[in-house]
Structure 1
């Protein structure tokens, strides 16, 4: 998935279903395009979720692949939900396309495993800590009002950890250096560490600290997040962020390497109780 405002999970799922239908019909993309009267590029973009598909076009596709009636309503419903606007669209004027894409994917995720080497995970940041992180990242390029709007977005995202009976599960491995770096002020850091201790008590949140003594590890290249979705047939996605762009990794082989790296990191990290002790000591040091 290229950087930019990419497809939602539902569009990816629908694209996968359409591709499977064509393959079961033993048609090539070229054959399908000819029979639909479309360009090959259009069929390819739909099947790779680069673009959405309208209801009339979906009906034509289902007719071509001779999809029976019982399955049609579900696919049309999936197409409709893929076009539903999310709460983040209200902030479209102040969000980078890559960040908006991440929020869309995050909203559909059921489990996120992340290695956070530079800052506390955004889902666990206090508003004061988040403000300082966003302000520093923007380097004075945007006014304070825009910074505050981005902080509001971050705080809204955190509601995923407390929604209903099936909240988002988060497992984060935090580099110990994150707890030692003074973001904003000692008071901001003390409050952030105390907040982490509270979040660590949630049954759906696991926090481990990777100690400085752990030495070299498989993720010295930087932070990453592995997003696992609620639907079992939705493939995992790895999210990587740089200063000016983002990358979504969807190759099975590459996702396996990141999963293996996370397993190494959690094995090298302190256990949850010992991690809480380290975080508590940081809170006391900053107080």
Structure 2
């Protein structure tokens, strides 16, 4: 399905453009159709699932031509659609819901991770270990069991036959600077090699600590780049911070993240060498704790 989140972004831009083309302020539009200024603002900023009836009321008020009217109503319908993640409510966590939404309609994903194993490649044991660590920071904003179920569903969706291409660049620090038990990390590294080697649409590169990155600007956070089948839907960069995800759709901003990703990919090891490094790192861990049970 088309990502409802992406459609909401596009719908918001279209509604704002239509209003501005008619020289109308948001307050004026709100008064004309007896809506609150807040409702107009939420629609034009893609906050929440839109009500198709509200969109129709706005289009009629702005005297939008029939051909354009039909196109935008269809867009609103897509933006209001529900996905499998909605059945989890807030139990899976708002951040995982966002990623599930984007992944549902994406054409390609490119991710750089400097702090943890990418979610799509995580084992349940590794994820459980991270959850236990996260509990030290206070009350969780998700239900661990539901979140784990949802993550498995995300993996299933991404691995579907017509799923997106997925490229990963993982900083070597993620592999060497261990934050979970040795046995868990060893199994995790072996799992990554198995999944990536078996899936032609997945490409993994490790950025070694000694990589020559002269002339490149290094990212300050983990981020992912998304493209979508419909060329009208612009590329998107999602930046992972400790407490939230920052979403960039403005082309100039996204272009900067694309440039940094391309620099990282050039500095990283080739795919086969990267998988060999993961295997070697797993073997070193196993030699210290014995083979996984």
TM-score past 0.5 threshold: yes
The answer on whether the counterparts of 1:176 and 1:210 sit within 8 Å (CA) in structure 2 is yes
Q: TM-score, normalised by structure 2?
A: 0.82
- Residue number in structure 1 paired with 2:40: 43
For 1:110 and 1:134, the matched residues in 2 are separated by 30
The answer on whether the counterparts of 2:12 and 2:46 sit within 8 Å (CA) in structure 1 is yes
Equivalences for residues 216-255 of structure 1 within 5 A: 218-255=217-254
1:265 is displaced (CA, Å) by 0.3
Deviations 1:167-205 (A, max 9, x none): 022111001121223353333222222222222231211
Does residue 89 of the first structure (1) align with residue 86 of the second (2)?
Answer: yes
The answer on whether the counterparts of 1:218 and 1:265 sit within 8 Å (CA) in structure 2 is no
The answer on whether the counterparts of 1:129 and 1:183 sit within 8 Å (CA) in structure 2 is no
- Residue number in structure 2 paired with 1:29: 25
Does residue 266 of the first structure (1) align with residue 265 of the second (2)?
Answer: yes
- C-alpha RMSD of the superposition: 2.8
For 1:269 and 1:277, the matched residues in 2 are separated by 13
For 1:88 and 1:51, the matched residues in 2 are separated by 15
**How many matched pairs?**
278
Listed as ranges, the gaps of 5+ residues in structure 1 are 1-6
- Residue number in structure 2 paired with 1:134: 131
The answer on whether the counterparts of 2:221 and 2:241 sit within 8 Å (CA) in structure 1 is no
1:119 is displaced (CA, Å) by 1.0
Q: Of the candidates 206, 211, 216, which is equivalent to residue 214 of structure 1?
A: 211
1:128 is displaced (CA, Å) by 1.2
For 2:50 and 2:149, the matched residues in 1 are separated by 32
- Residue number in structure 1 paired with 2:119: 122
Q: TM-score, normalised by structure 1?
A: 0.83
Q: Secondary structure at 2:217's aligned position in 1?
A: coil
Deviations 1:126-185 (A, max 9, x none): 111111122212227459x93333222222211232223x20221110011212233533
The answer on whether the counterparts of 1:235 and 1:250 sit within 8 Å (CA) in structure 2 is yes
For 2:266 and 2:181, the matched residues in 1 are separated by 32
Relative to structure 1, the CA distance from residue 140 to residue 18 in structure 2 (aligned partners, 3 Å threshold; closer, same or farther) is closer
For 2:136 and 2:118, the matched residues in 1 are separated by 20
Equivalences for residues 136-215 of structure 1 within 5 A: 136-139=133-136, 141=138, 146-164=143-161, 166-201=162-197, 202-214=199-211
Relative to structure 1, the CA distance from residue 52 to residue 186 in structure 2 (aligned partners, 3 Å threshold; closer, same or farther) is closer
1:228 is displaced (CA, Å) by 1.9
For 1:161 and 1:97, the matched residues in 2 are separated by 19
Listed as ranges, the gaps of 5+ residues in structure 2 are 287-293
Q: Secondary structure at 1:219's aligned position in 2?
A: coil
Relative to structure 1, the CA distance from residue 148 to residue 183 in structure 2 (aligned partners, 3 Å threshold; closer, same or farther) is farther
The answer on whether the counterparts of 2:93 and 2:143 sit within 8 Å (CA) in structure 1 is no
